[in-house]
Structure formats: structure tokens, C-alpha cells
Structure 1
Amino acid sequence: MVKLFIGGHPLTMDELQLVQLVSPYGQVATIKMVRDRQTRKSKGYSFLEITDTEGAERIMEALQGKAYGDKELKINIVPPDAEPAKKVQRPGGFRAPAYPRVDRRGSSSYGSPSNDGSKPRRPRKQF
């Protein structure tokens, strides 16, 4: 299997139209059209797995630089050792404070300092 990058296709193109475009030149095994996560609209590039090397080369010869819609197609063979980019994990919902933090361990909000280094405690309610 040979992996192809096809870029520059129109944003309105769907998977079926892309397969119909390349299938006369080579047999498509899988297709991955890259889309925006929120809007689900195409970003204008896709990855196709072609069953044989000759088919991938025929696709490149036939479609490289051809105008399709209002854009020009760009086709490259993806090297087999290329790894996909790793996503950076960010903590969800974390936001740094907009002001510097003040350390208040030495005193409580009720006026008496804490001697053991622990956090100040609120007094219990009297019933």
C-alpha cells in the first residue's frame, strides 16, 4: 500500500467525488479527508491509500498540477516512515490567574497566626 497526499481540492468536494476522480488511474483502499472539528467542512486536503505503487505513480502523473474547480491539485507520496504529528495535551479549563498570588500561610483571616504551618481554619458555628 502506498499513501498519497492530495492537496488543493475544492472545499465542497466530498469523499465520493475524490475517489471518482482518482479511481481511473489506481485502486483506492482507504480515504481520509481532513475536516474542521467544529464545522465538519473539508480543509482542502486528503490522504489516500492506493493498493499498488504503479497506481500511485499513474495518479501523480495524471493529476499533478491539474486545475480542479478553482484550485490546483498537489499530489505527493507520503514516506512510509513518516509518523503523524502528536497532539499536545492541554489541561482542560485551566486558566492562570490575572494577578500575582499572595501567600497567606502565616496569618488567618480571623487575626490569629497559625503556628503549625497549616491553613487557617474557620471557626465553628455555635448553635
Structure 2
Amino acid sequence: MIKLFVGGLRPDVSEMDIAMLIGLYCNIETVKVVRDRATHKCKGYAFVETSKVDDAQKVISALNGESFKGNTLTIKISEEEAPKAPKFPKYTTRKPIR
């Protein structure tokens, strides 16, 4: 899966708005609008997953820098962090108590 970052979104944007816009250029697997927990308004960005790199490049070249509902979009391939190794407590060796 290729994950696209979509920034510059209005607070009232919905998943369907994004799907209708980006769906013109690629097959969408998932759409995740990042929302404020208290107000449930969009924080200004979302993530869209597609299965092909070529489709992702089409979306970027067609929509990056374009206006959507009055805001300028920023679209790029998302660079995910590598999974972090779990932290375990450090154990010290001690002499047994007698």
C-alpha cells in the first residue's frame, strides 16, 4: 500500500469529499481524516491509501498545489516511521540475598 498525506483541508471536510476528489485519479483503498477528539472537526489533514505507486504519482501531479474548497492542497507520499522496538526495563545483576 502507498499512503498519501493530504494537507490543507478545511475543518468541515468529510471522507466522502476526499474520496470523490482523489477517486478521479486512482483506486482508493482507505481514507482516514484526522479529527480533533473534542470537536470532531478535521485537523487539516488526512491519509489516503492506494495500491499502486503510479496511481499515487498521478494524484500528486494532478492535485498538489490545487485549490479544494478554498484551500490549497498539499499532497505527498507519507513517510511512515519504522516500528519501534518495545522498551524493556533494564535489569541489573545482584548478588542473591542469603
Give the TM-score category using the shorter length: 0.7 to 0.9
Number of the residue aligned with 1:90: none
Q: Does 1:62 align with 2:62?
A: yes
Number of the residue aligned with 1:77: 77
d(CA) in 2 for partners of 1:58, 1:74: 14
Alignment identity in percent? 37
Could you list the structure 1 runs, at least 4 aligned residues long, displaced by more than 3 angstroms after superposition. none
Question: How many residue pairs were aligned?
Answer: 83
Residue identity matched to 1:83: E
TM-score scaled by length of structure 1? 0.62
**Within 5 Å, which residues of 2 pair with 1:1-127?**
1-79=1-79, 82-83=80-81
> Superposition RMSD on alpha carbons, in Å?
1.5
Residue identity matched to 2:73: L
d(CA) in 2 for partners of 1:66, 1:56: 16
Which digits, 9 at most, give the CA deviation of each residue in 1:30-75, with x for residues without a partner? Answer: 1110000111111110011111111100000110100112210000
Which structure is higher in RCO with an 8 Å CA cutoff and minimum separation 6?
2
- When you count strand as a share of all residues, which structure comes out higher? 2
TM-score scaled by length of structure 2? 0.79
Residue identity matched to 1:71: N
Residue identity matched to 2:23: S
d(CA) in 2 for partners of 1:54, 1:4: 12
Number of the residue aligned with 1:107: none
d(CA) in 2 for partners of 1:23, 1:69: 16
Cα offset for 1:83? 2.1
For the pair shown, which has the larger CA radius of gyration, 1 or 2?
Answer: 1
